[in-house]
Amino acid sequence: MNKDAVLHIPMSQYAYALDGERMVFRLRAGRGDLDACYLHYGDRACRQTPVVFHSLSMRVAAQDERFDYYEVAFSSPYRRLCYYFELRCGEERLLYYGDFFSEACVDDRSEYYQYPYMHRADLVCPPSWAADAVVYQIFPDSFATGKRWISGRESSFYYQGKTVRGKRGGTLLGIAENADYLEEMGFNAVYINPIFAAGEYHKYDIIDYYHVDPCFGTDEDFRELVKTLHNHGIRVIIDGVFNHCGWHFDAFEEVVQKGREASFCDWFYRLAFPVIRQEDPEAVPDYECFGYERMMPKLATDQEAAAEYFCNVGAYWLREFAIDGWRLDVASEVNDGFWRRFFKTVREVNPQAILIGEVWESAGHWLDGTMFDSTMNYDFRKHCRRFFAEKTIDAAAFDGRVTHMRMRYREQSVFAQMNLLDSHDVSRFSSLCGGDEEAYELAVLFLMTFPGMPSVFYGDELGVTGLCEDDYRQAMPWERAAVSKAADTGYSRQQLFYKKAIRLRRQEEALRRGGYGAVSAASGSRLYVYRRFLEAEEILIALNMEDSTMTLNQEWLEGKLLRQRGLEGYKLESRGFVIVKSGKTGEKICR
């Protein structure tokens, strides 16, 4: 038995409550190492000594290249548990508890692993609608000025004595006038980059957190936008920038003008007096900021007055404009105490509002149910880039990486992750594919059939490309767009592919809420086959990234799906896919 591979972490994604009754326990072991694994659990407040334990067989729920992940989910009769694992490998039988191996149980229940109490307040509960969401990300300056058009013109306004700028002419009413397009494509949520008054076109250097930037319109325009999108069945998530503000935010303005006498000095980090706003873009400022961006001073949200102000901002836009949630910029650089306070404030206004943190790394720290419901899953993009775009890893490595993505969080958090191929901060994924349209389509299909909330950056469906910022934030090419409620006619190949992939996801509950398992992910191969399953429904998806035709294995899923649908021995062309559904109804989608 490879003891070094065995891992269990109490009170984590390895031991958590799904709800007030059901529990999930996991144990990691070396791949193929164990013959069997069992969970033994008992009431840690049991009046008998030794504790009476109950046994459950654990199954291999996932595998990566090195490990098996054993899992069991069950309804617990107890609210307080002590537990241990039994591991079998050939003739070897060991017990695992307290992070050590043993050959026997002990009477002292405190030596076992503990789940102290199933607190309602500790449950991870993302909004119920998250798993059903298909998100469209809109960069407002670049999206639309009116119905199916964008002016492409720069703009500038004086706002409270300061200049604010726009670059391409997008407005909030422009978004509203294209709500029918979003609905027809199948999107039921939008994430909109910052809309508040700010100096530059991207609006991440905020001047006023309580009003819309005049380049985009008015507060009433935003109210109308939210109402319009809601009428089209589309939820609205806006960008919250609370890590830093703009040069001309009132609090920082006072610090510059009054120095040490300013009442807002403790709202900022590492101020050196006098505070000077350097005109030289290469100058390193004498205050903490976002990266080294001198025009974005960092906010000290660990201070009471600052925390209160920005929590009030969070509540205001929920209460007054009925938004459905916040995407939170540079979330990993803001102190945890503020996020817990912000989370509590938001939930009190709207228990179904979503909070999505911009965390580029593994985000388990922020997904304990007290800070965020979701994070922007840039690891999803990273792994897809290696497999679909660069073609530098095989199916085994790809499956190992996406398995890690699924097993590093609680199940609830996995289904709420905001999965993406690109965004306003990275190159368009289609450009990374280097003209391989079929590979790009396979990546999109994977996005739409993987657990979590798929997010599409505006214009991806219309073939927008771009490797550098000015290109991947280009104006929406409305001349390429089509809307046809009667039939799938008039669409470009890429737009139609997106529409069908989104429709598939929204029609099949198994793709939104079902289990996931690899069927074929062989070392040295770039054929990846996986399945999604929920109750009596099962969907098989095969993606062929090989440069040659592949034959589907008749033994997959005991051959039932393939034989039922007449696909036994089906030839899958290079960059081709096949989707097979089995259950209450049967259908196939193949190319």
Which amino acid would we find at residue 384?
A: C
What are the tokens at 319? 């209460």
Which residue type occupies 584?
K
Reading the block at residue 223, the tokens are 């109210």
Catalytic residue among 71, 86, 213, 358: 358
* DSSP conformational letter for 270: S
Biggest distance spanned by C-alpha atoms of the chain: 80
| DSSP assignment string, 73-115 | EEE-S-SSEEEEEEEEETTEEEEEETTEEESS--S-GGGSEEE
Which of 394, 396, 395 lies closest to 65 in space, CA to CA? Answer: 396
Q: Is 488 a catalytic residue?
A: no
d(CA 278, CA 211): 27
Q: Please tell me the distance from the alpha carbon of residue 545 to that of residue 525, in angstroms, as a whole number.
A: 9
Q: Which of 208, 213, 253, 329 is catalytic?
A: 329
β-sheet bridge partners, residue 253: none
Q: Evaluate whether 238 touches 244 at the Cβ level (below 8 Å).
A: no
Tokens coding 513: 């809420």
Helix (H, G, I), strand (E, B) or coil at 244: strand
Question: Which sign, positive or negative, has the C-alpha torsion 150, 152, 157, 163?
Answer: positive
Consecutive H or E run containing 561:
helix 560-564
- Quickly list DSSP for 182-230: HHHHT--EEEE---EEESSTT--SEEEEEEE-TTT--HHHHHHHHHHHH
Establish whether 99 is a catalytic residue. no
Pinpoint the alpha helices (H) of 322-428: 336-349, 378-384, 395-407, 411-414
Query: What residue has token string 């998100």?
Result: 135
Residues with Cβ within 8 Å of 470's Cβ and at least 6 positions away in sequence, in order, are none
Catalytic residues: 329, 358
